[in-house]
Amino acid sequence: MTTVYAPKDAAQTLAEQVQAARVAGWTRPALTELTKLTPAQLWRVEHGNAHAHEVEVLTVALAKIASGEVKPPAKAQAERVDVKAVLASYQARIQQLEEQVAALVEAQGRRK
């Protein structure tokens, strides 16, 4: 079976549109889910080498993105951690352990 590539101008236009979607928050996994293309196919399209059969699939998906019919996936928010509070709790625990060790050493010294 011979691979038929899309015309270079159409492939370049698709590449630019996919890249714009990526900048707008569309990740490759989200785009592959929307288009049902493989990650490798999507990567190839992003680099200006679309196969002819991918043009229609991508045109439909990119039109949905452009119209706002579909939105990029929400980014997961990283949990904020109060580093100073965590450090203070570790330091307090270290101090407790040091006191326990000192008490054990002192108790060992009394036994002898």
pTM assigned to the model: 0.62
Give the DSSP per-residue string, 58-75.
Answer: HHHHHHHHHHTSS-PPPP
Structure tokens, 23: 């900048």
Q: Provide the H-helix boundaries in 1-112.
A: 8-23, 28-35, 39-46, 52-67, 83-111
- Confidence band of 112 (pLDDT split at 50, 70, 90): low
pLDDT of 16? 95
- pLDDT of res. 1: 63
Assess whether pLDDT exceeds 80 at residue 75: no
Decide if pLDDT at 111 tops 80: no
Least confident of 35-49, 58-72, 73-87: 73-87
Q: Is the dihedral of CA 84, 85, 89, 92 positive or negative?
A: positive
Query: Per residue in 5-39, pLDDT tens?
Result: 889 999 999 999 999 999 999 999 999 999 999 99
Say yes or no to pLDDT of 77 above 70. Answer: no
